[in-house]
A and B are shown apart, each in its own frame.
Chain A
């Protein structure tokens, strides 16, 4: 019996341990390697070891000049800001479109909810690359969407906002980039929001109305505060991958749309400067970890509230 309990316990350890091991091997270890590369010196095509032993002394050589360079070169700073801005704008649009979507999905008849959920996930059945590529056709000259936008005179508005360089020109602009990113990441906003809003106790909304709140006030005072966890989860799921997005800026972005993913690509494969590229990557990870830490803190707080 004791043996059985012991084996059960080790089984449990294995179940918990395997995902941790996975993260250790495929996330933490590569990250440490990248970190190491970012501080190594290059000797021709080889990286020098960070630790070296010579004449009975161990010396640790950390080359931090790349980090200094990043703060001094305006291009990197601009690119980081631009990446964060595009990610933030995408997140806001996803939230604005996704929230009502998730809300009505959660309020729909329970018989149609699985079908609606299916429709949200349906785009995943097609290749991501193909879907992004399709927008090229839709937004380039005489594409359906482009023609429609021109017909509706939306291009005047976009031009005024400085999102497109000229009338009736949508491709390779900040506009096309945001359209592509919002389109691709919308399901990641809708799904956590739907999960959250579906659990919302309808009697709370009724109670608010009973106490004199109009449907509008009920929404802002009850529904939105109670779905905060869903809003944060959805926003993180959109924001974090958007910051480092490479494919969409490459296909839909233009000369104005600086994104850190493209800089990273250039450093790795055009300049072949791996330490510099690794530095860019490490700084990006740090930029993403900050909002993630805030999110975790909030999650811990709400968990405490639920307890």
Chain B
């Protein structure tokens, strides 16, 4: 590759590599037959104590991968190693992993206490030791008062905490979470995200979670693997993935982005100029390429500034364009302006609403200038 477009910004790469591989997924393939391959040559290594998220839309293979870790599915090929030991052939009930199901899968005929005790009873733990452990676990998830209730007598959030307690009480080597907050409403989800991470960190268990919600992945996980159609597209910290996406798909999937196709017009040691339909980009962060090479420029809406008059700065005539306000989406804390460009393309610009008053603000049909700094863009080749 001549254009090393996705060289991450400084300081991003060090945290992307795990300290030491605790769980190693090596070239795993799962083929259910019938054409599509659910998981396609996936390799991931996960460090001890990490919260790792598999992020992707439905049908991308993330749940299948998680189920292979739990032992419910067998990989067609490839290996899964825990501290160097191959897990192949180990049934779910012999794996030191516990999984929290999307539906929580609480046993409806058992009380909260018995649900949590279920796993310990299977291990044949002595009674007094067991009740001690369950007590402390109930305390941790703040459900001591509800021990005698049946699952259907609890709220969604409480059920979720029972499911978590039921997994953690077994002190698994790894906690598997399948859409841990998928069944909760938005407000509760935000509160629970932090709470869940706090509990997991307090216990210190390594955790693999599956989610389709990028906010959930970014808030909770220390590293994220973005998956699509059975493949892992990028692995990195939330900031890596947001600020330096490796592909158009990742850039588009995580957050909002304006993608502009263009070609490399000028390649200097300290910058590159990329010409697009509506503007030209002056990209200042150590990338290089051949003249005439087709690339895509990705720029996040919040990294664009708006002004009524043409901005005059050192990079003129680059990094700015003129457009007409087509749509305004007000979100409370910020507003997204959709600018119609001369070519007919639309870009999105988001501005924080720092003032309560809307006088002098842009309105439909206004012509405005948008501009950005030479470090705002990401140049993508794939």
Interface size grouping (class) on chain A: 10 to 19
**Nearest chain A CB to B169 CB, angstrom units:** 9
Q: Are A204 and B107 also in contact (CB < 8 A) when A210-B93, A211-B122 are?
A: yes
Does A226 make an interface contact (CB < 8 A)? yes
How does the 8 Å CB contact mask read for A189-230 relative to B, with 1 for contact and 0 for none? 000000000000101101111111110010001100110000
Does B177 make an interface contact (CB < 8 A)? no
Pairwise interchain contact A222-B122, C-beta atoms closer than 8 A: no
Pairwise interchain contact B119-A211, C-beta atoms closer than 8 A: yes
- A299 CA to B13 CA in the complex, in Å? 61
Residues 116 to 153 of chain B near chain A (Cβ within 8 Å) = 118-119, 122-123, 150, 152
Pairwise interchain contact B152-A306, C-beta atoms closer than 8 A: yes
Contacts of A222 in B (CB 8 A): 107
Task: Please give me the residue from chain A that is nearest to B98 by CB atom.
Answer: A210
Contacts of A211 in B (CB 8 A): 93, 98, 118-119, 122, 166-167, 170
Most B CB contacts (10 A, CB to CB) among A209, A222, A305 go to A209
Most B CB contacts (10 A, CB to CB) among A211, A213, A221 go to A211
Pairwise interchain contact A201-B93, C-beta atoms closer than 8 A: no
Contacts of A209 in B (CB 8 A): 72, 91-93
Pairwise interchain contact A212-B105, C-beta atoms closer than 8 A: no
Contacts of B92 in A (CB 8 A): 206, 209-210
Q: Which of B102, B108, B109, B122 contacts A212 (CB 8 A)?
A: B122
Residue total for B at the interface (Cβ-Cβ under 8 A): 26
- A95 CA to B122 CA in the complex, in Å? 27
Pairwise interchain contact A208-B107, C-beta atoms closer than 8 A: yes
Q: Are A212 and B119 also in contact (CB < 8 A) when A206-B92, A225-B109 are?
A: yes
- A210 CA to B166 CA in the complex, in Å? 11
Contacts of B119 in A (CB 8 A): 211-212
Pairwise interchain contact B93-A212, C-beta atoms closer than 8 A: yes
- A201 CA to B166 CA in the complex, in Å? 18
Pairwise interchain contact B170-A212, C-beta atoms closer than 8 A: yes
Contacts of A208 in B (CB 8 A): 107, 118
Q: Are A203 and B93 also in contact (CB < 8 A) when A210-B99, A212-B123, A213-B118 are?
A: no
Pairwise interchain contact B93-A214, C-beta atoms closer than 8 A: yes
Residues 126 to 162 of chain A near chain B (Cβ within 8 Å) = none
Pairwise interchain contact B122-A305, C-beta atoms closer than 8 A: no
Pairwise interchain contact B103-A217, C-beta atoms closer than 8 A: no
Residues 266 to 302 of chain A near chain B (Cβ within 8 Å) = none
Does B101 make an interface contact (CB < 8 A)? yes
**Nearest chain B CB to A100 CB, angstrom units:** 21
Contacts of B109 in A (CB 8 A): 225-226
- A207 CA to B151 CA in the complex, in Å? 15
Does B70 make an interface contact (CB < 8 A)? yes
**Nearest chain A CB to B325 CB, angstrom units:** 49
**Nearest chain A CB to B208 CB, angstrom units:** 14
Most B CB contacts (10 A, CB to CB) among A212, A221, A222 go to A212
Contacts of A225 in B (CB 8 A): 109
Task: Please give me the residue from chain A that is nearest to B99 by CB atom.
Answer: A210
**Nearest chain B CB to A13 CB, angstrom units:** 33
- A86 CA to B74 CA in the complex, in Å? 48
Pairwise interchain contact B105-A207, C-beta atoms closer than 8 A: yes
- A225 CA to B72 CA in the complex, in Å? 23
- A221 CA to B107 CA in the complex, in Å? 10
Pairwise interchain contact A203-B103, C-beta atoms closer than 8 A: yes
Pairwise interchain contact A206-B108, C-beta atoms closer than 8 A: no
- A222 CA to B99 CA in the complex, in Å? 17
- A214 CA to B121 CA in the complex, in Å? 12
Contacts of B98 in A (CB 8 A): 210-211
**Nearest chain A CB to B162 CB, angstrom units:** 12
**Nearest chain A CB to B115 CB, angstrom units:** 9
Task: Please give me the residue from chain A that is nearest to B101 by CB atom.
Answer: A203
- A304 CA to B122 CA in the complex, in Å? 30
Q: Which of A206, A213, A217 contacts B101 (CB 8 A)?
A: A206
- A217 CA to B93 CA in the complex, in Å? 11
Task: Please give me the residue from chain A that is nearest to B94 by CB atom.
Answer: A212
Task: Please give me the residue from chain A that is nearest to B117 by CB atom.
Answer: A211
Contacts of B103 in A (CB 8 A): 201, 203
Task: Please give me the residue from chain A that is nearest to B176 by CB atom.
Answer: A210
- A201 CA to B105 CA in the complex, in Å? 8
- A222 CA to B108 CA in the complex, in Å? 9
Pairwise interchain contact A305-B150, C-beta atoms closer than 8 A: yes
Task: Please give me the residue from chain A that is nearest to B150 by CB atom.
Answer: A305
Contacts of A201 in B (CB 8 A): 103, 105
Pairwise interchain contact B99-A207, C-beta atoms closer than 8 A: yes
- A129 CA to B212 CA in the complex, in Å? 60
Q: What are 29 inter-chain pairs, A to B, with CB distance below 8 A?
A: A201-B103, A203-B101, A203-B105, A206-B70, A206-B99, A206-B105, A207-B99, A207-B101, A208-B107, A209-B91, A209-B92, A209-B93, A210-B70, A210-B98, A211-B93, A211-B118, A211-B167, A211-B170, A212-B93, A212-B119, A217-B122, A221-B118, A225-B109, A226-B108, A226-B109, A305-B108, A305-B150, A305-B152, A306-B152
CB-CB nearest 3 A-B residue pairs: A211-B119, A212-B122, A207-B105
Residues of A within 8 A of B (CB): 201, 203-204, 206-214, 217, 221-222, 225-226, 305-306
Given contacts A203-B105, A226-B109, 6 further A-B contacts (CB under 8 A): A206-B105, A207-B101, A210-B92, A211-B118, A217-B122, A226-B107
